[in-house]
Structure 1
Amino acid sequence: MSYQPRHSRAVISFFLGLTVSMAGAAPSMAQKADPTVYGALPSVSEAAISPDGKTIAVLQNAGDATGLMFYDLDNPDAAPKGVGLGETDARDIVWANDDRVFLLASQSSQVSTLSGIDTIEFFRWLTVSKSKEKAKILLGNEPGFFVANAGDLLSVMPNDPKKAVFARHSSSGKRTTSGGPSRLKDNTVQPFVYSLFLVDAENGSQKRLETGDEYTIDWIVNADGEAVMRIDIDPATGGKKVYYRKDPKARFELMDQNIWNFDFYSQADKPDTFFAGAAANNKAAVFEVNLANGDRSIVYSNPTYDVADMIYDPRKAKVTGARYVGDLSRSYHFDETQRATQDSLRNAIPGSEPMIISKSADGTRMVVKVLYTDHPPQFYLYDKTAGTLNMIAASYPELDGKIVAKKEKYDYTSPDGLTIHGYLTVPAGGSKENAPLIVLPHGGPESRADQEFDYQSFFYAARGYTVYEPNFRGSEGYGVSFRTAGYGEWGRKMQDDISNGVKKLISDGIADSDRICIVGSSYGGYAALAGATLTPELYACAVSINGISNLPGMLGDVARDSSLGEQYWTTRIGSRYRDNDQLTAVSPASNAETAGAPILLIVSKDDVVVPQWQSTQMRDALKQNGKPYEIVELPGEDHWLSTSTARTEMLQRSIDFIDKHIGQ
């Protein structure tokens, strides 16, 4: 498959300190938004610059096909090189050296296992050569069992640019008859463990460096790719054990329990110190922890929001900054010079949030992803030496510069005193009075909505609807107590936060009480079904996309897959044994007789996160109770609707259903 450059418009260039106007004219509301435009995968989804700063690797999408393309920055007129990836779902790219990148991708497949025919989504790292335009799969399956996960890229070796270190689950290489997940022909098993591997980026060969045990969950390596920390789960308590070795050739020693509550990320700059995460003043923060004397100090915290994730440089095997989500994602770089660069970029493009997502080894050239509240992201190349910032691609060329809607903050105080943050996506030129409303709760539920463009809410707004995205209790980003306030509250206080937000919009005169539809995916699909069955008076229709209808059944599925997963979800939802009656009481399939509004069920047949039976059981319950419903099945599709075909069909079928029940 061949790919051609897909620039949205001519490259623009300006010196930092100047500004450009990115706003475009709002289209007439009479011109209905096309679901194929909004449902398309982003034209460019990722971009990264080579260590020498001469090449940009770009993940480009055309229909349901993806290509990894290489653009020569010193010869912009040259045709790009690259490889077609077909309908593989490409997730991330990291440069290994000036010729090769590591590419993270996934694909679902039906395979025969001991339990029958199962659908498994296989994640894999590939190495792709720019010069040879060829891809090679790394760390594949092993004899005797399937390996679904790709592993984590920890280090791109600075002293040997052809090598990299990955942490990955695999067989231990040791046989036992005492049980385990990998049964062999002679009835022995190999325990499934999390180990370290040295991988050759040129030929794909691998060498085991360290072998974890069945309780190992994480490794930290130094700049030379040598393991310096191993983190295990304590099977007796469910907590963590931290092992450290100052000399990579020595034995690991168990550290004192006073540091076990930290989540360790990487070595820091001083001897025996590590960057780690823990709560500070109720917010997730980044610490520097000294293992020799027990000292710890805060490197970065935000008074309002949790730290969401780390900025990790595999060339250094070190954390270099942190990200948090306010209304838009923002970065905090530990290096003062890098922080100044980030501030300059923010000043150069007013009303946006520029994110440095890749930089050359010397830091003089950077790829910047720019986020907006009123149109899709754009990708820029910043040349620090030349002082120029050039737009290299728009994520949605057909929407670039067109302001069809804008997200606004909408917060309220719950009856028990919590501030429930949220956002309204309002049609450009539309009225905020007595408008038809789509309620769009997010998935997770330990996730959150923000103010950035997203294809679903902007599509609905472009079709004339106001869209409400609430960050109910249990959402992440607002502190530990806000997140844990959602524990055990599925269908109860978490659902109340959504309902009370809707009631506030009605009382504020924003929403028409007779024209409200609730739509959601995954946990949001559960919330949509719960809204239709637990508060049927609020909604004129509901759409569930890969939603959950049976909570005890969900916990049972999780328990069969993973004891750690069962512990995680039991803490957040409840026990399928002790709390069965309470969980059944808020399971939509058990309350189908109370459903008042028509319900649309959209289900991915290859979903490995929420199995298809959760939707079909809801369908059967609605049918048995004589309730109106429709169901749409998406063959070959995953939980996240990773293809443009699936996204487009979801948008088309949902908007037809919504228009039918609450349209003008």
Structure 2
Amino acid sequence: MLFINRRHALGQFLSASGLLTTVPLTVSASKATAAESPRPAVSVYGRLPDMSEVTISPDGKRVGFIRNIKGQLVLMDYEITSGKLNFMPITDMKVRDLTWADNDRLLVTSSVTADLVRFIGDKNEYSRAHIVDVKARTSLLLYENLKDYYPIVMGSLGRILINGKPHVTASNVRFGAEIFYSLLAFDTTTGRYTKLDEGREHVLNWVYKPDGTLIARSEYKQSEKLWRLRYLNALWTTIYEEVFDELERPFLVGRGRAEDSLLVRFNGGKWDGKYIEFSRDGTPSEPATLTGDNVSPLIHPATKRLVGFLRRSPEGNEYEFFDPLLEKLHKETNALLEGSIVTRVLSRADDPRKLIAYSEAVDDAGSYYFIDFTTGQNKLVGQTRADLPADWIAPKSELTYKAADGLSIHGYLTLPPAPALKGRGPKNLPLVVLPHGGPQSADEIGFEWWSQALASRGYAVLQPNFRGSDGYGQEFVEKGYGEWGRKMQTDLSDGVRYLAKEGIIDARRVAITGASYGGYAAMAGVTLDTGIYRCAVAVAGVSNLKAMMDWEFKETGRRLSPTLQYWNRFMGDKSLWDAASPDLHVDKCDVPILLIHGKDDDVVPIEQSQRMQRAMQKAGKPVEMLVLAGEDHWLTTEATRLQMLEATIAFLEKHNPPDLRRA
């Protein structure tokens, strides 16, 4: 019988000296008792995880992952049976994904900020893919030195066999006399490529079988707004087409349940928010039972066929399985990790009974387990923050409150851990409001480094999933349309008032901070919804709606780009943009603001923070600005992420001190 004991699992870690070892690990022993636990440094929370991107090989014999050693990233290849570790430094990579190219080589997807001729915009973040043999310490960059191609990848990454030999597929754009959309397959050993398909129309993605047989592709003709689903029946045959705005065009996910069926996710039209399976003649199925933006398909690791659906929601995840074995494995994995707050299967071998599971608990910031249901074997592969004492993991709970107009707002409250409270109850605490980005995304119950770091300094942290957030249905999303700086903003301050009424927080000691849309909300909180916050820290935030939209138009060259359409929905009527732009209302701001922005941000340009800085300075208002050199929109690099976090905490402690005597 399988049984995972967090206290007595086998784990593999790097020693402080960097030597590789495989040692018995008692998890509880790595967590000091309350009496032995001084407050961890900010870096313990804010650094990149000790371990990430954990993935199992197709044959289930090896585990690949990224190890963070004092800010240096190392690619690891762990042989499960022998315990042997092979490693290779990848310090300069911004890793976005890790999987296996074959049973011996890893496929590393990273990104780079670049200005490429013939691509729209000054600077963009582009994906690159390397086939890496960690044992041999060799690396093949896909599309490198190929005539008419940049060494980047656009999509359709996958693992196939051609004549029994492993290949990796990847799509790209070929710039010849005309523009072509190409799908190539690269031999994982030699790097030599085979051209699988190429088209003049804008091919969005391809679907193929594990043996490399092409099945289908989707295309979008922008001039006619026409989306096509094409099946390869000797020749490319259109089996479905419909007019869609670019923001609402469907997505060809992959294979359906049947051998030759296709799965399509619709984002508009009569099947909006639904998954439909198409037969090879274009006959559509009935929509899948689970619908909505927070639904994702479950795919068999070997056949790449649809085996079920997952719907994520704050009330708990809902699963629908078509495969009895996968359903049984799901239940057994949850039973094995009983007591976890978060449980996810991250990766499966071709035999789905061999897998990598991720788990979080009240005393565990995150652990990765190898589980083999064929043998009953399980191992703790590693932890995300092995040196974070259990008593310094802050308690996080759900809460629901009413907005001023009666709308129910769900969110999360993180309280200071017990050692930070020093025996005091959770009453009259200082508060930091931490709204998420997007705005159509959502905070969840799991461990989150930013809120945990703030809580360790004595702050309660409120993360409201304000109207417009994902996970609560399309109607809730649409309630956010046109509400930038309006009800999306007061949803935050309504949460402050709720917590003050409950006696949990001191309404005189409240600050706001956030990134991306959360950075906008931080600026708006002290200019548009005043009298609530003592200070604000805005990271990569929008300060002027019109200027932001003008920049986006300049970058894409068209008024109806998907990004512009998306933001138009939330920003609403153009006549209201000035009223919702923080930089035009700094005269109402009577508290200090810290602005933080990555210099290489290609999502929200640094000019947005500079506008706010100039407006505050011109009005004689207190403002500081920190530029993160070489950083993108996502705080990808450890050094600059820590720089941001340390500056944020220092600013909050100065202007909204957690100690009441300093308030």
The answer to whether the aligner puts 1:134 opposite 2:138 as a matched pair is yes
User: How far apart, CA to CA, are the structure 1 residues paired with 2:389 and 2:333?
Assistant: 20
- How far is 1:626 from its partner? 0.7
* 1:169-318 mapped onto 2 (5 Å cutoff): 170-171=173-174, 173=176, 175=177, 190-191=178-179, 193-235=180-222, 238=225, 240-245=227-232, 247=233, 249-255=234-240, 257=242, 263-270=251-258, 272-278=260-266, 284-290=273-279, 292=281, 294-301=283-290, 306-312=293-299, 315-318=302-305
The secondary structure found in structure 2 opposite 1:376 is strand
User: How far apart, CA to CA, are the structure 2 residues paired with 1:364 and 1:483?
Assistant: 37
Cα distance 1:203–1:469, how it changes in 2: closer, same or farther (>3 A)?
same
1:184: which partner in 2?
none
The secondary structure found in structure 2 opposite 1:243 is strand
User: How far apart, CA to CA, are the structure 2 residues paired with 1:540 and 1:616?
Assistant: 22
- How far is 1:325 from its partner? 2.8
- How far is 1:436 from its partner? 0.6
* 1:629-648 mapped onto 2 (5 Å cutoff): 629-648=623-642
Instruction: Give the letter for the 1:389 counterpart.
Output: N
1:10: which partner in 2?
24
Name which of 339, 343, 349 aligns with 1:351. 339
The secondary structure found in structure 1 opposite 2:338 is coil
Instruction: Give the letter for the 2:53 counterpart.
Output: E
- How far is 1:214 from its partner? 4.9
2:58: which partner in 1?
51
1:608: which partner in 2?
602
Tell me if the contact between 2:482 and 2:573 (Cα under 8 Å) persists in the aligned partners: no
* 1:82-121 mapped onto 2 (5 Å cutoff): 82-108=87-113, 118-121=122-125
C-alpha deviations, 1:266-306, integer Å up to 9, x for none?
1223255322334899994544344647342354527xx75
Name which of 378, 382, 385 aligns with 2:374. 385
The answer to whether the aligner puts 1:153 opposite 2:157 as a matched pair is yes
User: How far apart, CA to CA, are the structure 2 residues paired with 1:654 and 1:220?
Assistant: 45
* 1:570-581 mapped onto 2 (5 Å cutoff): 570-574=564-568, 579-581=573-575
C-alpha deviations, 1:162-191, integer Å up to 9, x for none?
2122233x1254x1xxxxxxxxxxxxxx33
- How far is 1:66 from its partner? 1.1
Tell me if the contact between 1:44 and 1:59 (Cα under 8 Å) persists in the aligned partners: yes
Tell me if the contact between 2:56 and 2:64 (Cα under 8 Å) persists in the aligned partners: yes
Tell me if the contact between 2:51 and 2:65 (Cα under 8 Å) persists in the aligned partners: yes
Identical residues among aligned pairs (%): 30
| Worse overlay, 570-579 or 46-55 | 570-579
Name which of 504, 510, 514 aligns with 1:516. 510
1:562: which partner in 2?
556
* 1:254-653 mapped onto 2 (5 Å cutoff): 254-255=239-240, 257=242, 263-270=251-258, 272-278=260-266, 284-290=273-279, 292=281, 294-301=283-290, 306-312=293-299, 315-327=302-314, 333-352=321-340, 353-372=342-361, 375-399=364-388, 401-429=390-418, 430=421, 431-562=425-556, 566-574=560-568, 579-653=573-647
User: How far apart, CA to CA, are the structure 2 residues paired with 1:512 and 1:29?
Assistant: 30
The secondary structure found in structure 1 opposite 2:415 is strand
Cα distance 1:112–1:220, how it changes in 2: closer, same or farther (>3 A)?
closer
User: How far apart, CA to CA, are the structure 2 residues paired with 1:415 and 1:648?
Assistant: 37
The answer to whether the aligner puts 1:67 opposite 2:50 as a matched pair is no
1:37: which partner in 2?
44
User: How far apart, CA to CA, are the structure 2 residues paired with 1:229 and 1:34?
Assistant: 52
Instruction: Give the letter for the 1:171 counterpart.
Output: R
Tell me if the contact between 2:55 and 2:65 (Cα under 8 Å) persists in the aligned partners: yes
5+ residue gaps, structure 2? 1-13
User: How far apart, CA to CA, are the structure 2 residues paired with 1:6 and 1:621?
Assistant: 55
User: How far apart, CA to CA, are the structure 2 residues paired with 1:28 and 1:565?
Assistant: 60
Instruction: Give the letter for the 1:362 counterpart.
Output: D
User: How far apart, CA to CA, are the structure 2 residues paired with 1:339 and 1:515?
Assistant: 49
- How far is 1:400 from its partner? 5.8
- How far is 1:31 from its partner? 3.9
- How far is 1:155 from its partner? 3.9
The secondary structure found in structure 2 opposite 1:102 is strand
Tell me if the contact between 2:47 and 2:641 (Cα under 8 Å) persists in the aligned partners: yes
C-alpha deviations, 1:420-478, integer Å up to 9, x for none?
21000112234332211100000111211000001100111111111011111211122
User: How far apart, CA to CA, are the structure 1 residues paired with 2:551 and 2:527?
Assistant: 23
Cα distance 1:367–1:22, how it changes in 2: closer, same or farther (>3 A)?
farther
Cα distance 1:370–1:334, how it changes in 2: closer, same or farther (>3 A)?
farther
User: How far apart, CA to CA, are the structure 2 residues paired with 1:149 and 1:306?
Assistant: 26
Cα distance 1:213–1:527, how it changes in 2: closer, same or farther (>3 A)?
farther
The answer to whether the aligner puts 1:162 opposite 2:169 as a matched pair is no
RMSD: 3.4
Tell me if the contact between 2:131 and 2:141 (Cα under 8 Å) persists in the aligned partners: yes
Instruction: Give the letter for the 1:607 counterpart.
Output: D
- How far is 1:60 from its partner? 0.8
Tell me if the contact between 1:376 and 1:396 (Cα under 8 Å) persists in the aligned partners: yes
TM-score norm. by structure 1 comes to 0.86
Instruction: Give the letter for the 2:305 counterpart.
Output: K
Instruction: Give the letter for the 1:108 counterpart.
Output: T
- How far is 1:221 from its partner? 2.2
What is the number of residues matched between the two proteins? 632
Instruction: Give the letter for the 1:354 counterpart.
Output: T
C-alpha deviations, 1:306-353, integer Å up to 9, x for none?
534334457534344444433477765542212222212212222323
Instruction: Give the letter for the 2:629 counterpart.
Output: P
The secondary structure found in structure 2 opposite 1:369 is strand
- How far is 1:29 from its partner? 12
TM-score norm. by structure 2 comes to 0.86
User: How far apart, CA to CA, are the structure 2 residues paired with 1:129 and 1:456?
Assistant: 35
Tell me if the contact between 1:596 and 1:627 (Cα under 8 Å) persists in the aligned partners: yes
C-alpha deviations, 1:543-591, integer Å up to 9, x for none?
0111111211221222223367843344333399994441122111112
Tell me if the contact between 2:224 and 2:243 (Cα under 8 Å) persists in the aligned partners: no
Tell me if the contact between 2:537 and 2:593 (Cα under 8 Å) persists in the aligned partners: yes
5+ residue gaps, structure 1? 13-19, 176-189
